[in-house]
Structure 1
Amino acid sequence: MVLACCTAVVLTACSDSSDDDPADKSPRPPATSSASRQPAPSTDPLARDKLAVLRVYELMWEDQAKAYAQTDIKGTQLKRYATKEALGRTMGDLLAMKKEGTATKGAPSHSTKVLSLSPAPKVPRARLQDCLDISSWKTVKKKTGEPQPYPSDQPLRYLTTIDAEKWGKRWMITKITTHGSRTC
């Protein structure tokens, strides 16, 4: 089904010209990701960046779920959270969903952690790992709400690896690698 394709892709888009960190200005409530499990700032000099990159990833997922629910990226801030590398695939997913008359309901849940963070002088980089759980994220027929089943071989929980870079004052998700055969 299309949801299987959708979950393998992370929505990304071109960045805008602002260097502000979207996590600093977001009116949204705190995320429920594993950001709270990262070391406290007093014990880890990189804790602030770790929390910021986890927050940007969570905000991106909130908008990704919104885009797939409406089968359009309008009204989302995906361009603030991620680069365009995966946008082509995502737009393809959204076009296929529109053609098939499907959308999603609910949202995936996450268990995300920072695997590494390199505070390089020019472009700091981070690598995250997420146990993505799509069991509450359903594909439905848009007009009727009729659930569309997952393919029989679709794992409901699997690992993804996320790469991010800090551009100016904000983190951008640059790449997502789905490991569908690695369940968690």
Structure 2
Amino acid sequence: MRTEEIKASHTGYVTKGRLSDYAYDKAMSKAKVAIFNYRQRGVVFKGMPTSVFKVTSVDLHDPRFTAKMWECLDTSSWKPVLKESGKEVATDGQVRRFVVTGVVVDLGDRWMVQDYTLHRDQKC
């Protein structure tokens, strides 16, 4: 999912990639809203974030199997820029390394990210 989200942030359009192959429900909604809001302000992203993630638990007792994940997302090299000018518009003092937690669900033919939460108050 993260790879497709990065592609969408470079173009400003969720529909030009394969994000829907990896995210659905709240995760897809959050990604669409974020990309749309940036596009409305004329902002795209340059560079690539780095990420370290791990599965923290798996539940095989729900009607659908679920896994919880933890990620350390480092956005230091993933910069918001104005599409027209290329001018960087990152906010001074913004946390660039933070925790992301999420839920991944087995939909039968594949696992997809159902939801995620950015924890900008939790540095990693």
Q: Calculate the TM-score normalised by the size of structure 1.
A: 0.62
- 1:177 correspondence with 2:109: no
Aligned counterparts of 1:71 and 1:113: Cα–Cα separation in 2:
28
- 1:155 correspondence with 2:84: no
Bigger mean CA deviation after superposition, 92-101 or 104-113: 92-101
8 Å Cα contact 2:27-2:113 kept in structure 1: no
Q: Calculate the TM-score normalised by the size of structure 2.
A: 0.90
Question: How many Å apart are 1:183 and its aligned residue?
Answer: 0.4
| SS of structure 1 residue aligned to 2:120 | strand
Provide the alpha-carbon RMSD of the alignment. 1.6
Corresponding residue for 1:79? 20
Q: Which has the higher strand share?
A: 2
Identity %: 28
Q: Which has the higher helix share?
A: 1
| SS of structure 1 residue aligned to 2:91 | coil
Aligned partner of 1:128 among 60, 65, 69: 69
Aligned counterparts of 1:127 and 1:89: Cα–Cα separation in 2:
18
Q: Which protein shows a greater Rg?
A: 1
How many corresponding residue pairs?
Answer: 124
Question: How many Å apart are 1:121 and its aligned residue?
Answer: 6.7
Q: Deviations over 1:114-151 (max 9, x none)?
A: 10112237311101100110001000110111111224
Distance 1:118 1:86, change over 3 A: closer
